[in-house]
Amino acid sequence: MGDPRSRLAEGNRKFVSKYDGVIQRHIAGQKPFAAILTCSDSRVPPELIFSSGIGEIFVVRDAGNIAMGASVIGSLEYAAEHLHVPLMVVMGHTCCGAMATAEQGPGDGTCAGEIINEIRVCFKEKDHLRANIRMQMAHLLEKSPIISDAVRSGKLSLIGAVYHLEDGSVEFL
């Protein structure tokens, strides 16, 4: 493997040859069975964790799996309203760098600092990891009538989960 760009290009060549045919079957549209909001951490790849393929999971990722801002919430609204996903998961993970940084103190004036301050809101509770997951689920319901209506009408289930980096298992809350 060479430089990072070459690694990407080579990886894509392998992908194209491995999934030739499968890729083309999904051109017409997508019908994912779940939407997942999880952390951007490179050790937390949802498709691999859930043994899923192309078109199966609608994924939104950011540091700390936080439901903050129109891009994150709006993307999940799209999954609920237009793709009709029956399941939405907010998945945090052990050994999360965003959580660890938040534990060290308040954020600065940067965009990253805003994420830290958002996570710190849940620090009133003892189990920061699970408290953050529950707080983000609550934010989705509070900030999005599309998501809360879908949950209320029974079209959508919203659940929390913890990915255990130590052994690869997912604990559903």
Residues near Zn ion (CB under 5 A): 39, 41, 96, 98
For Zn ion, give the closer residue by CB, 41 or 77: 41
- Nearest approach in angstroms of CB 93 to Zn ion is 6
CA distances from 86 to 7, 71, 99, 134, 160 (A): 36, 21, 29, 19, 14
- Nearest approach in angstroms of CB 81 to Zn ion is 27
For Zn ion, give the closer residue by CB, 95 or 141: 95
**Gap between the Cα atoms of 50 and 91, Å rounded:** 12
- Nearest approach in angstroms of CB 165 to Zn ion is 9
Q: Which of 6, 171, 4 is nearest to 94 (CA)?
A: 171
- Nearest approach in angstroms of CB 171 to Zn ion is 15
For Zn ion, give the closer residue by CB, 151 or 161: 161
- Nearest approach in angstroms of CB 32 to Zn ion is 22
Q: Which of 158, 136, 146, 135 is nearest to 34 (CA)?
A: 158
**DSSP characters for 112-169?**
HHHHHHHHHGGGGSS-HHHHHHHHHHHHHHHH-HHHHHHHHTTS-EEEEEEE-TTT--
For Zn ion, give the closer residue by CB, 40 or 157: 40
For Zn ion, give the closer residue by CB, 16 or 100: 100
